[in-house]
Structures are given as C-alpha cells and as structure tokens.
A and B are shown apart, each in its own frame.
Chain A
C-alpha cells in the first residue's frame, strides 16, 4: 500500500503535528483556567499584554495564583508531550512525519512550538510597550515627559549659572540620598551638573554650595558664599565669595 502524499510529505505532517500540539495547548490552558476560576480569553489577553515586562536586572513573569506562568507552561508541555506520544503510538503507520518518536524528541518539538507561542505573545506585548514608549519619547521628546526632566532642568540651570566651570560643590538636600529614589536623584543630578562636581571627584576644597530640594535653601547658605543663582525656594547654587 502506498502512503497518501498529503500525509507523507513533511510539510503536511509537520503542520498536522504543530496543529495537534497547538490544540492540546489550548485545551490544557482552558482546563487550567477552569480549575483556577479564570476566563480563558482573559488569561490569554493578560499573557499577550504582559509577556514583555522589561527590567535591567530581572524580568518577572506573570504570576497566577502564586506561581510563575512558566510553571503552567511546563505542565501544559508535559501533558501535551504525553498525549502526542500516545497519539503517535496509536496512529503509528498513518502519520510518520519524523524519524524519532522518543519522549525526548516529542518534548523538543512541543517545546519549540511553546517557544514560538511565547515569542508571538512577547511580540504582541512588545508592540504595546513600543506604543507607550512612542508616546513618551517619540518626536524627539528626550526627557521632556519623564520624571528625570525636573532634575535635569534644575541641574542644567545650576550648571549654566556656574558657567560650566569645574566647581567642587557641597550638596545639601532634604532627600534621603543613601538609597533608592533619593540616591538615583543624586546620581542624575551629578550626571547633568558635570563639570560641576558634587561627588567629591575634584581633589580640592569646596568652592561651591548647591541646595537641591532643600526647604528654605537661601537661609542655609554658609557664610563666605554668595548666591549665584536661585531657581526657587529649594534649589540654588552659591559659590565662595571673591576676596
């Protein structure tokens, strides 16, 4: 008996295998949603929206009922592999697309399809992220719509008042600059102020004094300094008075 071309051609068999795996993923996903009390379309939508959550140190996956999405994916892969292995043995002789029918071979093929599926979800999520990024950074906006803008403007105004000269400045602030957001604010200020130095880089005595988010800044200016420029009540630069 000759095999039907529609079954024996690799493309058709690959497509049939991929279709079977995708259908099994959908069924197992739906069952998992039923067990957890979630709506399957809503869960898919959540995965599509949040598969790309960028972070410079660690990208957290979606957590559902306290478990990472990958745990559910592993379960779906395991169920699919077992089913495909069973199907392959049952329909042996009808569908022979691959030379290797081992557990590991099924696991590799199913995982490849899962990777493609997650890749597609990631693309959808990335598309949404790009849309948001365009709203913030599009049209050469630079920092204008970010929370860095205020510190940048303060730093640039103070730096301009200092004539971009290499002053070594003492920094006074009400922010907690030891950690977290306050520390980042300090780093951003130092970056945009340069060549005015607030980080103790220049090896000389302080010759400037900068108030940054310091209430009633003018009252705190040390003796011997004259205010060069005051932006508002909280932000100013003073330099050592000329003798």
Chain B
C-alpha cells in the first residue's frame, strides 16, 4: 500500500494550485478549505497540462521535467503569496450555533465519507472502463513517458487528464499501485463536496451547507462513483466548480478574478470529451452573467468576455492542438472508424421517427431521474423547489444556475434525440446517469438556495465577509 507516498506526491500539485488560487483571489479571499479544494483541481490540471507541453518538446524524462516545472512554479507562487500578504488575509469561517439535527446529519455524512475513504484506500481498480481504456493508456504513458501509443488504442481521442495524472503519480512514487492510485478519485469527490459545502456556507448558512452536502451524498450513484476509478466524479468536480466560480465572480460584483473560473472551464475540457461542450456552456453562462451585470461598461464586459474565452480556449488548445497534430494523423483507418466519439463528427440522424426518438429520450430521462435508485428523491425535491417562483425571482444566482442546467439538458436531450448518439440511450443505460452526475451538485445548490430562505432572509452576497 502506497497511500502516504501518493498523498505526499499529490502535495505538489495541491500546493501549486492552492498558491495559485490564493494569489488570484487576493482581492476577494476565499476560506482556506475552499482555497485548497479549488487548488486541488487547478494544481492537478496544471501538472497534466505541463506534461502535454513537455510532449511537444524533444525530451525523454518528461515526468522529471514536469516535477521541476511544477516545483519551481509552486515556489514562485508561494513567494508571490508571501510578498502580497495573502496568507494573513484569509476570512475566518463565520461562527454560529450548531443545532443537534445538523450534527446528526453531519454524522451521517461523515459515515459515508469514512466509507468512501475506506474504499479509496482498500479496493483496487476493478471497473470495466479503467481496465479497458484509462488504465492501459495510463500504463503506456507511465512506461513510455510519452503519448506515442495513444493513437493505437481504442478511444484515442479521449482527453487524458486522468491517465496522465495516474502515470505521473506512479512514476513519481516509483511503483504502479492498483489500490493507492484510486485516491485521486476519492479526493476529487471530497474536493467537490468541500466546494459545494463552503459555497453554500457562504451563500446560505451552516445548516444548509451541511444539508447540501448530505443531499449530495443522498445519491447512491454519486457515493459509488466516488469509490471507483471512473472519470465522472472528476468531471463533475471540474464542471460544477467552474459554474460556482463564475457565480462567485458574479456575486462579488466583478471583484474576483476572471482567471480562475476561465482556467477551470479550460481544464474541464481535459477530463472527458463532454468537457468541451461544458466549456462552451461555461462561456455562454459567462456571457449571460456579463450581459446582466450592472455597473459595468460595455467595454469592460467585452474585455472580460474576451479574457474568459481566451484563457479557457487557450487551455483547451494545449491538448487539442497536440491531438490534431500528432494523435489523429497517426490513427490507423481514422476515417473508417464508425464508433468515433469526437464531437466534430456529431451528425443529424437521418430517416424518420424523430417524434419516437424524442419520446424515447424523454422517457429515459424520466426513468433515470425519478424511477431509478441513482438519486434518492432529490429530483422530485428539485421539481417541487422550482414551484417557489418568488424565491427564483429574488435570486439572480438561482436563475443563472437554472440557465446552466437548462443549457445542459437542452444540449443532451436534443443531442441524444436528433443525432447518431440516440443509440446510447435508446436501449442502454451506459451514459445517461453518468452525464446527469456531471451537474448533480448544481441541482443540490439550487434546492438549497431556493429553500434556505425558510430559515432567514438571505441577502445575495459574495464569499468574503465584505462581499
């Protein structure tokens, strides 16, 4: 078991990401646990992108160079944090009375957390996708320190964040450990829960933050995915953190940095193929936030939109350009590959029966959200929460969250109903649950934000006490 070596080497990206987050949020500081939870994603994303950058260069010991680059960057960011005095200016978590019922819910959440950690540190890689795609790709990167073998594997166009991260950890600790590597999936779930909890803590109350995290883990599907080596919980973490960072920016009235949500939007595209679509939705959400922003000139809005798009697309291009230049041209029989997942190849499905396909996809969604064992009764609670139109009218944040969820469901619904991807939902359960998982924390956030007013009047405010 290499739990501690894995945790030890992960300190490097976590430190890098935490210092970067602390630096970028120096004007609108976040609480430390939230800074670290965001830093986990930023740091691991930067490290894997460093590897892609190294793949453009004619070097051999690429992981060594990644470590040097990450170490130097973390040191520079640490020095910047010290000089800027950001360590002295973190807001303390607001104190308050904790009710017994809240403690009871917290105890249940802690039990589930203990279960997830136990699974993450005891159950080895046993899942289909990990053996089939991610694991073998990762092992080939681990042994070759390159992406040379990727064109000759199935699903060669999949983004490579997780395979590279697994290979980097293994190379850094000197051994491939089928159990300890799963820690990164556990940590992604923990980071997602921490981000949601702290955001709800700041926007509502401690009680609703605990309830929000409990609602998150009321989903058995999320619990199970936190214990296996699939990329969907990581995708969920990056996608939802991006949306919540965008809304933090909106609530801070533009005081927070543009860079952090834009960086996360770009990194989202590097987890799964769907991430590219999510990045486009993040850009659309950002556009909507800017469109409705008050006290901001058109010039400022245009500048910020350009900055967001340039950073997110720039991060996306690091891998996309490598893929177009080196991976796709090397794929044998690329044009003849019928099961190609690339979004560039999405085509309208020919023939009639569009009505039948729409009805079928609608039924599949209903079945998944309301009749399965995936989500407890959270979707019913979500629908019932939407009846509180007065609360939705009061809260701009809720409206933006609903806008994002609307885009998500519209794209997927018509994507499945009108394209060749209908096959994935028509008679199979392969993709729908996992795609819904990618936005599940946002559904919980909407429920909590709408209903939090039951306790007290919740003014719209940012994360920091001054916000």
Q: Separation in Å of the B215 CB from the closest CB of chain A?
A: 7
Q: A52-B223, A115-B376, A115-B378 are in contact. Are A142 and B152 (CB under 8 A)?
A: no
Given contacts A59-B374, A108-B385, contact A54 B224 (CB under 8 A): yes
Let me know if B253 is at the binding interface, CB within 8 A.
no
Determine if B381 and A108 form an interchain contact, defined as CB atoms under 8 angstroms apart.
yes
- Nearest-Cβ distance from residue A141 to partner chain B, whole angstroms: 8
Find residues 283-302 in chain B having any chain A CB closer than 8 Å to their own CB. Answer: none
List residues of chain B with CB under 8 Å of any chain A CB: 1, 108, 111-112, 115, 118-119, 122-124, 126-129, 131-132, 135-136, 139-140, 143, 149, 152-153, 178-179, 214-215, 218, 220-221, 223-225, 228, 230, 368, 370-374, 376-378, 380-381, 384-385, 387-388, 429-434, 451
Q: Which residue of B1, B374, B384, B432 is within 8 Å of A140 (Cβ)?
A: B1
Supply 5 further A-B pairs (C-beta < 8 A) apart from A52-B220, A57-B433, A59-B373. Answer: A61-B373, A114-B377, A140-B1, A143-B178, A190-B131
Once the chains bind, are A111 and B377 in contact (CB under 8 Å)? yes
Q: Report the stretch among A27-35, A192-200, A226-234 that lies at the interface.
A: A192-200
- From A118-126, A205-213, A216-224, give the one contacting chain B: A118-126
The interface residues of chain A lying within 8 Å CB-to-CB of B374 are 58-59
Q: Does A178 contact B (CB under 8 A)?
A: no
How near does chain B come to A33, taking the closest CB pair, in angstroms? 20
Is the Cβ of B123 less than 8 Å from the Cβ of A57? no
Of the candidates B131, B228, B433, the one having the most CB atoms from chain A within 10 angstroms of its own CB is: B131
CB-CB under 8 A from A138, the residues of chain B are 122
Which residues from A are CB-within-8-Å of B126?
A: 143, 146, 148
* Chain A neighbourhood of B378, CB < 8 A: 115
Please tell me if A9 contacts chain B, counting CB pairs below 8 Å: no
Judging by beta carbons under 8 Å apart, are B372 and A68 in contact? yes
Number of residues on chain A facing chain B (CB within 8 A): 54
Chain A contacts for B1, CB-based, 8 A: 140
A30 to B370, CA, bound (A): 23
Q: Is the CB of B371 within 8 A of A191?
A: no
User: A123 near B220 (CB under 8 angstroms)?
Assistant: no
Question: In the complex, which of the residues A58, A69, A115 contacts B381, with contact meaning CB atoms closer than 8 Å?
Answer: A115
> Roughly how many angstroms separate A52 CA and B376 CA in the complex, as a whole number?
10
**Contact (Cβ within 8 A) B371 A68:** yes
The 8 A CB mask of A130-174 against B (1 = contact, 0 = none) is 100100011010110010100000000000000000100000000
Answer yes or no: A188 CB below 8 A from chain B CBs: yes
Contacts of B214 in A (CB 8 A): 119
Cβ contact within 8 Å between A143 and B124: yes
Contacting pair A115 B372 (CB below 8 A):
no
Of the candidates A52, A70, A146, A194, which one forms a contact with B139 in the assembled complex, judged by CB atoms under 8 Å apart? Answer: A194
Supposing A57-B433, A115-B378 touch, asked if A108 and B451 sit within 8 A by C-beta, the answer is yes
Chain B residue with the shortest CB-CB distance to A104:
B387
Interface centre among B122, B135, B368, B374 (most CB of A within 10 A): B122
Q: Quick check: is A201 within 8 A (CB to CB) of the other chain? A: yes
Closest chain A CB from B188 CB (angstroms): 16
Identify 26 residue pairs between A and B in the complex whose beta-carbon atoms are under 8 Å apart, listed by A's number.
Answer: A51-B220, A55-B224, A56-B127, A56-B224, A57-B433, A58-B374, A58-B433, A59-B373, A60-B373, A70-B371, A104-B388, A108-B384, A114-B377, A118-B376, A118-B377, A119-B214, A119-B218, A123-B108, A130-B115, A133-B119, A133-B122, A143-B124, A143-B126, A146-B126, A194-B143, A201-B153
